Amino acid sequence: MNKIAQIFDTLDYGAAPEAPDQAYAWLDSHDRQFGHFIAGEWTAPGKTFSSDNPATGQSLAQITDGTAEDVDAAVRAARAAFGSWSALSGYERAKYLYAIARAVQKHARLFAVLESLDNGKPIRESRDIDIPLVARHFYHHAGWAQHLAREFPDHVPYGVCGQIIPWNFPLLMLAWKIAPALAAGNTVVLKPAEFTSLTALLFAEICGRIGLPKGVVNIVTGQGETGAAITAHPGIDKIAFTGSTEVGKLIRAATSGTGKGLSLELGGKSPYIVFEDADIDSAIEGLVDAIWFNQGQVCCAGSRLLVQESIEERFLAKLKTRMKTLRVGDPLDKSVDIGAMIAPVQVERIRDLMQRGAAEGAVVYEPDNMTLPGAGCFLKPALVTNVSPANTLVAEEIFGPVLVAMSFRTPEEAVALANNTKYGLAATVWSENINLALDIAPKLKAGVVWINGTNNFDAAVGFGGYKESGFGREGGREGMVSYLKPRWEKDLKPLSSVELAPAQRSEQANPLDAAPLDRTAKMYIGGKQVRPDSAYTRAVVGSSGATVGEVGEGNRKDIRNAVEAARAALGWSSTAAHSRAQILYFLAENLDYRRAEFARRIEAQTGHDGAEEVALSVERLFAFAGCADKYDGAIHNPPSRAVAAAMVEPLGVLGIVAAPSRPLLGSVALLAPALAMGNTVVLVPSSVSPLSVTDLYQVIETSDVPSGVINIVTGDSVALAKTLAEHDGVDGLWFAGSAEASAMVEKTSVGNLKQTWTTRGLDYDLADRRFEGDYFLAKATQVKNVWIPYGA
């Protein structure tokens, strides 16, 4: 039998190696030693470390370990370039982005080979997926640059952006961050991962070759300390980070109170749900892509297989058969499916997790017909069964070629298992019933949902997570928003200490000095008036110095009860937007009926005529009632046989701590957009003038607001804000108050990475009409992109 006939008989792949010569020649042209790329020039190499080929362990080049001084030099260069770069017309910036895209395409094979040498991923992936997407991002954002003024009126760039990227998609993550930043008019200091800096350095050389103005892009290499120096640098206006949740939390804590913009794309433990009516063979091929793409070193990897019980046995048998055909080996071999892990430390971490999972009862299957290369960082693909949701391998992000499988019986159980994680980056739904798939997708707490496909990415479609997978989006319109801020925010002035906490309305020292007539307003939790758990009250002192009433002194338990009530009412988010609007209109109508009463209450507390504030509060309720069914998503059109539906969803349970001033409007202006978008709320009203909001629950009770949608806890604003920030059942927190308390709120919210908005002691005049539109609607929502394939 001749050789060709043998190949058709066995269907074995032959070797198809890619030559590394051109990549080696480029490394040699730099003597395999690299400094930083700062202000358009290469610096002399400093203290270096080795960048190794994970498939062989051999050193590719020596990379400079950036110091705080190096970071400072890069920030100064970026700051010097910012004025002229941001002043360019959108068209002029677009031409540079277009030139970068063309240069990437021209040198695509060099980039792909260098990426596979440095990272260990199969050349098929870097050549056919990563590098084309890099070029696509720069093309796409060239368009945003030119149309920025029309699409984002009255917005400006942050300034100097510090960007820190991971090692799993070195060049693609660079493109995701640099392209929108430059399109928006920012300048950049970027640190690539220490394991994979080479394609970022090649990109830096491309920037020089196309004539990008010096200082617009600066590349500083280094390890963790270099990234920390970027995060801490006072000259950085915005931080964008992709990496582990643990490091993301450290960055969130470090930036608290600084006013820096922040977007985080962090870890994941994504579910891959297969229903009994799915095309099983297609679902298995999709699963191969979901978990063994890039050796499973993907934050959105479909690492948790949830398969319907009726097909579980057949599905797993077919999956094991498919696993036996996967090829592990040299990343430069075009017939290889799984390349090398990034480094020995990652291999050991995965093996340790596997041992822990097995000790907890997990059963591990690895193909027994597979031989790994004798050198390098290689692992076999693994399938783990016989696990509970509490098993380490189910709960923890493994970041390797390890698939964990569980079964479910009903769609409701599938959703419960899928959402039983602290992460919320991505999810996959596989079903031939599009009605079922589109019913499940909105119920999944994930920023991206793929239907009958997986790992679909495009520059036109936002990518990012919920919960501890971070916040902010990369790609599309949502990604551009992450690099822009309203022009007026840069002109905000600090509030005076008197405006933050008027001294004349402090509490009475002696609790027995209250007025003889007991007028103690209760709290409002779960649709009921309740007394405070503490059994203490606080006096409300009017402008004359006389006590005008008392309210309960809320504590941690009151917040706990309010959060539980709010979580029980989360069905509010699935109430039709039209119905939410009707209830807000009803609230406004009922408040208007009692306009004179509320005006008198404001005057009694503040000494100011309250008529205008009541009128503004009614108007604000009307405004957001009108927005409830109009602030919605879009359909993105990626260059594939699919559409991506950008669905605008509420954060969930939103804590709102109102400012001391404006007793009624200060709460209503924040409450209305939160409710309009489907959030449930725990509201802490003004600590010095709370009676306007405790009166408001009488309006709430007569306006058809479902129980638990609005919960009111009175007391010390800062103390209650801290409790809300610490509570893992709170998904977002808005705080109006001092700079010090705002910093505390941001730092304390690190626990579950809840999204926060704080005034930082600045004068956010909520009476301004700029606050009756998209500003708070955007902060009350997050975008989920659902990919829907089409075509026969």
**DSSP result, 454-503:** -----TTS-B--SGGGEE--BSHHHHHHTTEEEGGGGG--BPPHHHHS-G
506 band by pLDDT with thresholds 50, 70 and 90: very low
613 band by pLDDT with thresholds 50, 70 and 90: very high
DSSP secondary structure string for all residues of 104-152: HHHTHHHHHHHHHHHH---HHHIIIIIHHHHHHHHHHHHHHHHTHHHHS
Long-range pairs of 501-508 with CB within 8 A, sequence gap ≥ 24:
501/660, 501/688, 501/738, 502/660, 502/661, 502/688, 504/541, 504/543, 504/545, 505/540, 505/541, 505/542, 505/543, 505/605, 505/688, 505/689, 506/541, 506/688, 507/538, 507/539, 507/541, 508/539, 508/541, 508/547
Q: What does the mean pLDDT of the chain come to?
A: 95
Q: What is the per-residue pLDDT for 557?
A: 98
Cα angle at 326 between 321 and 331, to 5 degrees? 175
Q: What is the per-residue pLDDT for 108?
A: 98
Catalytic site residue from 161, 299, 300, 377: 299
Contact by Cβ (8 Å): 148, 185: yes
H/E element, 64 = strand 59-64
What phi and psi, each to the nearest 5 degrees, are found at residue 159?
Answer: 135, -110
* pLDDT above 90: residue 10: no
C-alpha neighbours within 13 Å on the C-beta side of residue 95: 9
3-state secondary structure of 32: coil
Contact by Cβ (8 Å): 214, 41: yes
3-state secondary structure of 606: helix
d(CA 615, CA 294): 58
Strand ranges (DSSP E) for 564-700? 634-636, 642-650, 653-657, 680-684
| Integer angstrom CA distances of residue 494 from 71, 90, 506, 738, 764 | 30, 33, 22, 9, 9
pLDDT over 70 percentage in the chain: 96
Q: What is the mean pLDDT of residues 410-421?
A: 98
Q: What is the per-residue pLDDT for 543?
A: 84
What phi and psi, each to the nearest 5 degrees, are found at residue 374?
Answer: -70, -25
User: Of 681, 643, 657, 607, which Cα lies nearest the Cα of 789?
Assistant: 643
| Integer angstrom CA distances of residue 789 from 323, 438, 514, 643 | 26, 12, 67, 6
Contact by Cβ (8 Å): 624, 675: yes
pLDDT over 90 percentage in the chain: 91
* pLDDT above 70: residue 324: yes
Contact by Cβ (8 Å): 614, 598: yes
Which of left, alpha, beta for 215 (phi over 0: left; psi -120 to 50: alpha)? left
Contact by Cβ (8 Å): 295, 400: yes
What phi and psi, each to the nearest 5 degrees, are found at residue 735?
Answer: -135, 125
d(CA 362, CA 347): 19
Task: Identify the residue whose tokens are 């696509």.
Answer: 136
3-state secondary structure of 448: strand
Q: What is the per-residue pLDDT for 498?
A: 56
d(CA 294, CA 337): 9
Contact by Cβ (8 Å): 753, 468: yes
The alpha carbon of 340 is separated from its chain's Cα centroid by a whole number of angstroms, namely 28
Q: What is the per-residue pLDDT for 500?
A: 61
Residue type, 659: A
Task: Identify the residue whose tokens are 């031939």.
Answer: 432
d(CA 207, CA 218): 10
* pLDDT above 50: residue 499: yes
Q: What is the per-residue pLDDT for 504?
A: 41
pLDDT digits (tens, 9 = 90+) for 112-134: 999 999 999 999 999 999 999 99
Report the DSSP beta bridge partners of residue 647: 784
Q: What is the per-residue pLDDT for 220?
A: 98
Outline where 271-422 has alpha helix (H): 280-292, 312-323, 344-359, 392-395, 411-418
* pLDDT above 60: residue 280: yes
Catalytic annotation on 299?
yes
DSSP state of 756: E
Catalytic annotation on 300?
no
Q: What is the per-residue pLDDT for 505?
A: 41
Residue type, 22: Q
Task: Identify the residue whose tokens are 């394609």.
Answer: 199
d(CA 567, CA 728): 11
d(CA 93, CA 87): 10
510 band by pLDDT with thresholds 50, 70 and 90: low
Q: In what order do the strands lie in the sheet with 528-530?
A: 528-530, 523-525, 710-712, 680-684, 653-657, 732-735, 755-758
Residue type, 411: P
Q: What is the per-residue pLDDT for 518?
A: 55
* pLDDT above 50: residue 222: yes
Cβ neighbours around 491 below 10 Å, total: 9
* pLDDT above 60: residue 501: no
d(CA 31, CA 26): 9
Question: What is the end-to-end Cα distance of the chain in Å, rounded?
Answer: 40
pTM over 0.85: yes
- Ranges 372-381, 440-449, 517-526: which has the least confidence: 517-526
496 band by pLDDT with thresholds 50, 70 and 90: confident
Residue type, 318: K
3-state secondary structure of 549: strand
Contact by Cβ (8 Å): 484, 152: yes
- Ranges 5-19, 658-672, 743-757, 763-777: which has the least confidence: 5-19
Q: What is the per-residue pLDDT for 654?
A: 98
Contact by Cβ (8 Å): 537, 551: yes
Cβ neighbours around 635 below 10 Å, total: 9
**Structure tokens, 66:** 């950036």
d(CA 207, CA 211): 6
**Structure tokens, 189:** 């200091």
H/E element, 672 = helix 665-676
The alpha carbon of 68 is separated from its chain's Cα centroid by a whole number of angstroms, namely 28
User: Of 252, 93, 113, which Cα lies nearest the Cα of 184?
Assistant: 93
Q: What is the per-residue pLDDT for 525?
A: 97
507 band by pLDDT with thresholds 50, 70 and 90: very low
Catalytic site residue from 115, 125, 194, 265: 265
* pLDDT above 70: residue 497: no
**Structure tokens, 526:** 């779960």
